[in-house]
Each structure stands twice: as structure tokens, then as C-alpha cells.
Amino acid sequence: MTEYRITGGRRLSGTVEIHGAKNSVLPILAATLLAGGECCVHNCPDLTDVAASIAILEHLGCRVVREGDSVTVDSRCVLRSDVPDELMREMRSSVIFLGAILARTGEGTISYPGGCELGPRPIDLHLKALRQLGARVEERGGTLRCTAPELTGCEISLSIPSVGATENAVLAACGARGVTTIGNAAREPEIVDLQNFLRALGARVRGAGSSVITVEGGVPLHGGEYRVMGDRIVAATYLSATAAAGGEVELTGVDSRHLATVAAALYEGGCAVASGMDRVSIRAGGRLRGLRPVRTAPYPGFPTDAQAILMAAQCTAEGTTVFVENMFESRYRHVDELARMGADIRVEGRVAVVYGVPRLHGARLRCTDLRGGAALVVAALGAEGESAVTGLEHIRRGYARLEQDLAALGADIRVRDT
């Protein structure tokens, strides 16, 4: 088993290049199934979720070659249409492959993704959208079988702007005859990235980034080359780490507009945040201040994926910060771990009240989920003394170089085999 050993209290300084966005890469890799040629995707981070996506593509019959941060997918001879249970379990968001598999082969079989560490993860909106496009969906014994010899464009209106359901609908609509409009679509930047990739393959998709997306389906797609955008949540993590530990850090390779709400919160907390087009920098020193309530919401609201990370920094703020988690039911599992370090946090339902304490102390900590794990690292960097963080498999799902990047910024973080 490996763990991080982190000694807190070191100021961070320097520049770090942010790697490609996990939540863009996954749907983009699924979208390569629609291309009638070779796709080369650059800035693909080395993450376990990316490896799981590649394993799914290979299982389906694609030829995949990874060279550094570039992944080339040749999907010309797709032979299968099922995602085996073990691959579904490895990455619950593999449900985004369903729309692409269906569009490509006219059928698709996956196992039901079930619940996960954030609570129930329903896929009813994904299935409703696919049904509206003409798919027949049968659920039996935890297996979902979809068939659609022909998909037909239609009007889809999502009751919640779900990121995954929007992506699935866009991917399936690319293979449908006629025009599909998706109303109340999620507006996350990763959906714009998916649209841009699809356009590079010749698809006619527009409107991503707004709440109405239009897809003119049935257009034959070709291969193409694309560079994935920088990961805004990784950037939010490094900004929060600097806020917690103090220092002066510049992040490159990330669109600062995607970080507006996180940057605004850190500014309110007393940090100096400056934004350029593809970079953002932060200067922090002294204690942070408590913030007005932080409410997670669909983009452009405050991202649920940054909730735990910002909370970790706010644990030692002067004053109180209220967090309201509106996106997922059980997204406060990191709170008990932060309490081990001396944090004073009360949770009631969707609300967490963080009473700032002067300092946190090092402790033995266990990652409970991907972003909750990153939050423990942020807290440990600002704490007094040494922390040991286990459960790093969660972190590897979304951070390709966490310890290397933080060490390069001057953090005392080491990986130890126990």
C-alpha cells in the first residue's frame, strides 16, 4: 500500500502546467467511437479513469496507442457493443460510452452503474434521452440492453442539467437521422470541449455552453486531431493548496474563465488572484477570512467538485463559512477526516458549517473519494506537523502528477510504500 507523507507549513511557490481535464477526456474518448478514421487526442492525462476508458475502447475492438500524453484511437473495426461489468465498476462514469456505442453499432449492453461514494448515481435521464431518440432499453438483473437499429432526431428536454446525460444525448444524436435539440442542457466547459472535438471530426453540433444544444445527426464523421482543455478542478486544487499553505503560485494551461467562482471565493477569503487567458495566479499569506455561503450548483455556479477542496482551506480561516451541497447527497465524507486534524465542522443534511480554527495538526487520514482525497492533501499542506494520507487510488483517478507538482512548488510531500 502506498501513502503520502506530508509535512505542512511550507509555503508554495512557482509555476505549474495544469494537465488535461479528466471530465473532458472521458467523453472525448467515448466520442472517438463515432469517427470513421483515426483520432489523435492530445493532453490526455495519465489517470486510472483514462486507462479504464482505453480498456473499454480496446474491448470494443478499437486499436489504441498511447504515447506520452497523446492517445490515438482507431475505431474503424468496432466488433462489440458491450461494456463488461468489471470495467463499469472501475469507472462509474463509463455510462457515457452508451450513447456512442449505440450510435455506432445500433445496440449497447452495460451493467447498471449503481451507487457510488457520492451517494446514488441515477441514470434515468440518460436512458430517457436515448429512448426519445428511438432506443429500446431493457433492464434485467443489473444489465441494461439498448437496441436501436435506427436513431431519429428529436426534441429532448432534461429535467436536471445533467452533465453525463447531456453528453450521452449529444453522442447518440450524432448517430441519429435528422436534427436533435437538447433543452436544459448542462453548460459545463467540458461539454464545449466535447462539442469542439466532435466538430473537428466533421459533426454538426452547436450551442454547447448554452442551455440549448442542437445536433444535426447522420453526418459521416472522419478522424481528427484535438487537444483537450486544462483541468479546472486540478487548478482549483492547487489554488486552494496555496491558499491553505501560503505562497505565490502561477498555473498555466487552464482557462481562467472556468475558475471564476473558485477564484472569487479565494479573493473574498483574502488571497490576491490574477487571471490571464490561459493562466491564473494566486498570492496568499496569513489567515484566510470566512466566506459568504458557498452553494454548489451546475456551471457557471460553484462546482461541487471543488467543494471539499475549498472547505479544506477554509478550516483555518478567521470566521465561519457555510457550505451548501446541492448536487450530490453524500458529499461530506471528507469532513470526519478533516475533524481528525482538528477542524470544527458541523454537518446537517446538505449544509456544512465550518468554524475556522487557528490551525490544523497532522494526522493519519484516509481518502474517501477523489475530491475528498484531494481536500485532505490541501489541509495537510497547511497543517502543523506530519500527516499520512492513504487511499491514494481515489486520487489517481483524477490527478496525474499531484505529488510531483506540489513537490515542485516546494511542498514537503513524499510517497511511501507501507
* Residue positions annotated with a catalytic role: 116
Stretch that binds ligand UD1, among 155-163, 273-281, 317-325, 351-359 (CB under 6 A): 155-163
Q: Is 94 in the site for ligand UD1 (CB under 6 A)?
A: no
Place of cell 428529436: 154
Q: State yes or no: residue 164 binds ligand UD1 (CB under 6 A).
A: yes
For the segment 173-192, give every residue that binds ligand UD1 (CB under 6 A): 186, 190
Distance CA 228, CA 269 (A): 31
302 binds ligand UD1 (CB under 6 A): no
Nearest approach in angstroms of CB 120 to ligand UD1 is: 6
Q: Report the residue closest to ligand UD1, judged by CB.
A: 164
23 contacts ligand UD1 (rule: CB under 6 A)? yes
Q: Which is nearer to ligand UD1, 20 or 342 (CB)?
A: 20
381 binds ligand UD1 (CB under 6 A): no
For 59, 62, 96, the CA distances from 81, given in Å and listed in that order, are: 9, 11, 13
DSSP string, 243-267: HHH-EEEEEESS-GGGGHHHHHHHH
Q: How many CB atoms lie within 10 A of CB 359?
A: 15
State the minimum distance, in angstroms, from the CB of residue 256 to ligand UD1: 19
Residue 132 lies near ligand UD1 (rule: CB under 6 A)? no
- At residue 279, what are phi and psi to the nearest 5 degrees? -155, 160
Buried b (16+ CB within 10 A) or exposed e, 41-70: bebbbebbbbebbbbbbeebbbebeeeebe
Closest listed residue to residue 316, CA positions, set 239, 249, 383: 383
**CA 104 to CA 56: how far, in whole Å?**
14
Exactly one of 30, 56, 73, 123 binds ligand UD1 (CB under 6 A); which one? 123
Among 2-10, 118-126, 196-204, 387-395, which window interacts with ligand UD1 (CB under 6 A)?
Answer: 118-126
Interface with ligand UD1 includes 39 (CB under 6 A)? Answer: no
Q: Which is nearer to ligand UD1, 23 or 105 (CB)?
A: 23
Is residue 52 a contact residue for ligand UD1 (CB under 6 A)?
A: no
Q: Closer CB to ligand UD1, residue 128 or residue 401?
A: 128
**122 contributes a contact to ligand UD1 by CB under 6 A:** yes
Report angle CA 100, 138, 181 to the nearest 5 degrees.
Answer: 45
Q: Which residues of 105-143 are buried (b: 16+ CB within 10 A; e: fewer)?
A: bbbbbbbebeeebbeebebebbbbbbebbbbebeeeeee
The contact mask relative to ligand UD1 for 309-338 (x = CB under 6 A, - = no) is ------------------xx----------
Q: Does 111 contact ligand UD1 by CB under 6 A?
A: no
The residue among 178, 234, 158, 156 whose CA lies nearest residue 397 is: 234
| Candidate residues 53, 75, 162, 242; the one interacting with ligand UD1 per rule CB under 6 A | 162
Question: Minimal distance in Å, beta carbon 74 to ligand UD1?
Answer: 24
The SS3 assignment for 181 reads strand
Within 10 A of 22 (CB to CB), how many other CB atoms are there?
Answer: 26
Binder of ligand UD1 out of 30, 71, 125, 409 (CB under 6 A): 125
182, 128 contact by CB (below 8 A): no
The span of 70-78, 124-132, 206-214, 351-359 binding ligand UD1 (CB under 6 A) equals 124-132
User: Of 138 and 150, which has the nearer Cβ to ligand UD1?
Assistant: 138
The CA-based diameter of the chain, rounded to the nearest angstrom, is 63
Shortest Å, Cβ 91 to ligand UD1: 9
Q: Which residues in this chain contact ligand UD1 in the complex, by CB under 6 A? A: 23, 26, 93, 121-126, 160, 162-165, 186, 190, 304-305, 327-328
